[in-house]
Amino acid sequence: MVTYAQDIWRCRYFWMSLVKMDLQNRYRRSVLGIGWSLLNPIAMTTVMCIVFVKVFGQDLREFAPSLMAGLAIWTYVVTSMLNGCQCFFIGEQYIRQYPAPLAIYPLRTALGGTIHFGLALLVVFALAVYAHATAPLPVDVEGPMTEMDELAVNAHATAPAPAVTDAVRAARAKAALFHAGVPGPAALLSLIPAIVLLFLFGWSVALLAGFANVIFKDTQHLAEVGLQIVFYASPIIVPKEVFVKNGLTWILTCNPVVAFLDMIRIPLLEGHVPHPMVFAKAMVTVGILMLASGLMLLRQQKRLIFYL
Amino acid sequence: MARIELDNVSLTFTVRKQGRVSLKEFLVRGLFRPSVNPHIQVEALKDVSLRMGVGERLGVLGHNGAGKSTLLKVLAGIYPPTRGKRFVEGRISSLFDIALGFEPEATGWENIAYRGYLQGETPVSIQTKKQPIAEFSELGDFLNMPVRYYSAGMIVRLAFSIATAIKPEILLVDEVLSVGDMAFQHKARQRIHEMIGKAQLIVVVSHDLGSLAKLCSQAVWMDHGRIRQMGPVQQIIDAYTASVQKPPAPAPVKAA
């Protein structure tokens, strides 16, 4: 394992140049350059905000940054898996000429995806800071009922709630929490291990998907369908409260993507470091995937060229 | 110290008639015995044994499909042997299929860097080599253009210049001696001679028997995956030339 990592390090200039080349190729002849890669999440967020705020009555200031962060993470997961399926085909000409450690091809995919994710995250951060800065002033949780409170309560309730004061208190507390939640230095620092874990997750997923797609050519199609299912089973566009309210908490506990969503969203939107359990869950997921990748490399690395 | 040892190396490819298998077919195959996509076994190398030390220069010749390129790829470590042991010590530099590995959208200069990194160069070392490579290729201002606009000959010039700008310990050459126009061929032969002089160990595959005779001391004659004869280069060339009066048919393959 150590010698393998050393081999990967030894050809670092090669795969770093591939990553750089992928980025350059994408924006070589375009006007906006790297801006195009941000257009997709921004456009998706705008459209979904219009739908969800106007139609379903979600609070725009909370929803937009949360949605955009979720979409950025989801885009990363999807591109890791789908580009990962192709990574050995894209690198086929190198594989046939030069016996490099095969992990560098999914590494190329994961690094490219992480760079795009990092850029999207900057935009999310800007959006979150703007949302916090323009939020209404801190509210007095125990104060008298106002018209605004009635609107806030009615927007969130599915049926007339008898305990109006409790619901109002909760809505006000949430507003206060949101306003207080400009990310501090500790929260921002906690993003670093979060991004590292996300990168390792993407690398392992790309590696496993790459091997699977070479051995079974229809893996990519199955992955596309599977990812759609996981998308709707994750709190990306649908808030967590909806899952809990409908008794679907077990989906949230079983879904590995939830931990990664929390790790990134909580520091940015609520401004504090996530609970250690979130990190633990992410680390366990990454650990299992890396173990699977290691086993796959051990067994199939030498045989991959016969499948290409 | 460069060293090559192949002990009874065999390499069998398992090829399917219809490209790659799908997961659906893999699952169904367990239920219904006869498959619509059967295996074909291709024995590319059979019991090949080779021992080479420093200073040896080996030529490989034989008919098309004899296993010469496969032998080089096994030596380079690209294909693992199905049976037998492979032991190669020393830094391997290979010239196979030299037009492969170019990024079409990148310029000539950028491709020099990419190919350099593939061969193990660092950004510092490739900086010093860029100018000599550019001069050898004689491509001048074309290097500022994306490689997808190059002609085939220009690509080969560039690839050859990059691939031969390194200091090899073990050099594996697969039929790249016939490249480019006549002026470039002359330059290329000289460059190969220089590299061979610097390398500790070389293995050359070629159909150009005259070049083999000049470059190599020993030769090996591959025939249908086996070593038919091995010995001093002129002796092997004569034996091969004599046998070519009756060209052999390709080996039959066994369907599963």
The answer to whether B109 faces chain A, any CB pair under 8 Å, is no
Maximum Cα–Cα distance for chain B, whole Å? 63
Residue A285 has a pLDDT of 93
Nearest to B179, CA basis, from B241, B214, B147, B136: B136
Best A306, A307, A308 residue to mutate vs chain B (most B CBs within 10 Å): A306
List the domain range (segments joined by +) for residue B236: 3-7+52-251
Which of A24, A97, A99 shows the shortest C-beta gap to B101?
Answer: A97
Domain containing residue A275: 32-138+183-307
Residue B170 lies inside a defined structural domain of this protein: yes
Residue found by looking up tokens 């590299």 in the block: B195
Q: In chain B, what percentage of residues exceed pLDDT 90?
A: 16
Cα(B189)–Cα(B198) distance, integer angstroms: 14
- Amino acid letter, B185: Q
Determine which of A88-97, A103-112, B99-108, B177-186 has the lowest per-residue pLDDT on average: B177-186
Per-residue pLDDT band for A230 (boundaries 50, 70, 90) equals very high
- Per-residue pLDDT, B102: 82
Q: pLDDT class for B172, splitting at 50, 70, 90?
A: confident
Specify if A5 maps to a domain: no
Judge whether A70 lies within some domain: yes
- The pLDDT of A282-297, averaged and rounded, is 93
B18 belongs to a structural domain:
no
**CB of B22 less than 8 A from some CB of A:** yes
Q: What is the mean pLDDT of residues A83-100?
A: 89
Task: With respect to residue B121, please indicate whether it lies within any of the assigned structural domains.
Answer: yes
Categorize the per-residue pLDDT at B163 as very low, low, confident or very high, splitting at 50, 70 and 90: confident
**Amino acid letter at A306?**
F
Which of A146-150, A198-202, B115-119, B159-163 tops mean pLDDT?
A: A198-202
Tell me, what's the ipTM? 0.79
* Per-residue model confidence as pLDDT tens digits over A263-273: 998 888 887 88
- Mean pLDDT score, B171-178: 74
Determine whether the interchain pair A98/B21 forms a contact, defined as Cβ–Cβ distance below 8 Å. Answer: no
Judged by CB atoms closer than 8 Å, whether chains meet at B23 and A218 is answered as yes
Predicted confidence at residue B234, as pLDDT, reads 92
pLDDT at res. A199: 95
pLDDT band at B114 (very low <50, low <70, confident <90, very high): confident
Give the strand pairing for B3-16 and B83-89.
antiparallel
Task: Indicate whether B220 belongs to any domain.
Answer: yes
Q: Would strands B39-52 and B254-255 be described as parallel, antiparallel, or unpaired?
A: antiparallel
Provide the 3-class DSSP secondary structure of residue B250.
coil
Q: What is the mean pLDDT of residues A171-177?
A: 65
**Tokens representing residue B147 in the block:** 């490689």
Q: To which H or E segment does residue B189 belong?
A: helix B182-198
Cβ neighbors of B96 (< 8 A, separation 6 or more) are A96, A97, B69, B72, B73, B76, B172, B174, B176
B145 interface with A at CB cutoff 8 Å: no
Average pLDDT over residues B14-29: 73
Question: Which residue of B42, B102, B118, B145 is the best one to mutate when testing the A interface, meaning the one whose CB has the most A CBs within 10 A?
Answer: B118
> Given a cut of 60, is residue A159 above it in pLDDT?
no
Is residue B1 predicted with pLDDT exceeding 80? no
State the total domains in chain B: 1
Q: Distance from B241 to chain A by nearest Cα, in Å?
A: 31
| Mean pLDDT to the nearest integer, A106-118 | 92
pLDDT above 80: residue B23 = no
Is A110 within a domain? yes
Judged by DSSP in three states, B113 sits in helix
Tokens for A173, please give them.
């507390």
Is the model's pLDDT at B24 over the cut of 70? yes
When pLDDT is cut at 50, 70 and 90, the band that residue A211 belongs to is: very high
**Is A17 in the B-facing interface, judged by CB distances under 8 Å?**
yes
Q: Are A108 and A250 in contact (CB under 8 A)?
A: no
Phi, psi of B197 (to 5 degrees): -60, -35
A201 pLDDT exceeds 70?
yes
**How close B96 gets to chain A, by Cα (Å)?**
7
pLDDT average, residue stretch B90-113: 81
Q: Domain for residue B153, yes or no?
A: yes
CA distances to A20, A255, A274, A284, A290 from A280, in Å: 33, 14, 11, 6, 15
Q: What is the pLDDT of residues A130-144, one digit of tens each?
A: 877 776 665 566 666
User: Among candidates A192, A13, A146, A95, which has minimal Cα distance to B78?
Assistant: A95
Task: Please state whether beta strands B254-255 and B226-232 pair in parallel, antiparallel, or not at all (unpaired).
Answer: unpaired
Distance CA A36, CA A23 (A): 12
Residues A120, A35: Cα–Cα separation, whole Å: 10
- The stretch A23-37 carries a mean pLDDT of 69
Q: Is the pLDDT of residue A289 over 90?
A: yes
Percentage, residues of chain A above pLDDT 70 = 81
Calculate mean pLDDT across residues A147-159: 63
Read off the pLDDT of residues B211-234 as tens digits, 9 standing for 90 and up: 788 888 899 999 998 999 999 999
Q: What is the dihedral of CA A45, A49, A55, A56, to 10 degrees?
A: 100
| CB atoms A97 and B117 under 8 Å | no
Q: For residue A16, which residues of chain B lie inside 8 Å, CB to CB?
A: 117
- Cα A270 to Cα A83: distance, rounded to the nearest angstrom: 32
* Residues paired with B218 in a beta bridge: B58, B232
Average pLDDT, chain B: 82
Which residues are within 8 A (CB) of A66 and not within 5 positions of it... i.e. 6 or more apart?
A239, A265, A269
Q: How confident is the model at residue A210 (pLDDT cuts 50, 70, 90)?
A: very high
Report pLDDT for A173: 66
Identify the CATH number of the domain in which residue B216 sits. Answer: 3.40.50.300
**CA angle (B110 as vertex; B127, B184 as ends), nearest 5:** 85
Q: Touching check for A222 and chain B: CB below 8 Å?
A: yes
Contact flag A305-B117 (C-beta cutoff 8 Å):
no
Report the pLDDT averaged over residues A56-79.
83
Q: Is B239 touching A (CB cutoff 8 A)?
A: no
In a domain, B17, yes or no: no
Question: In the prediction, which pLDDT does A143 show?
Answer: 62
User: What's the domain count of chain A?
Assistant: 1
Cβ–Cβ < 8 Å for B140, B107: no
CA atoms within 13 Å, Cβ hemisphere of A155:
17
Tens of pLDDT, residues B195-213: 777 777 888 888 888 878 8
CA distance A293 to A296: 5
Residue A110 has pLDDT above 90, yes or no: yes
Beta pairing partners, B50: B6
**In DSSP terms, which residues pair with B219 in a beta bridge?**
B59, B231
Taking Cα atoms as reference points, which of A84, A52, A83 lies closest to residue A68? A52
Query: Is the pLDDT confidence value at B148 over 70?
Result: yes
Burial (0-12, 13-18, 19+ Cβ within 10 Å), B245: exposed
Q: Go through A227-242 and write b for each residue having 16 or more CB atoms within 10 A of its CB, e for each that does not.
A: eeebbebbbbbbbbee
B99 burial type by CB count under 10 A (0-12 exposed, 13-18 middle, 19+ buried): middle
- In contact, B209 and B224? CB cutoff 8 Å: no
**pLDDT for residue A31:** 64
The average confidence (pLDDT) of chain A is 82
Residue A279 in domain: yes
Chain B CB contacts of A215 below 8 Å: 20-21
Distance of alpha carbon B107 from alpha carbon B158, whole angstroms? 11
Q: What is the pLDDT of residue A190?
A: 87
H or E element that contains B52: strand B39-52
Could you tell me the CA-to-CA distances from A172 to A61, A150, A155 in Å, in that order?
Answer: 14, 11, 13
Do A97 and B122 lie within an 8 Å CB cutoff?
no
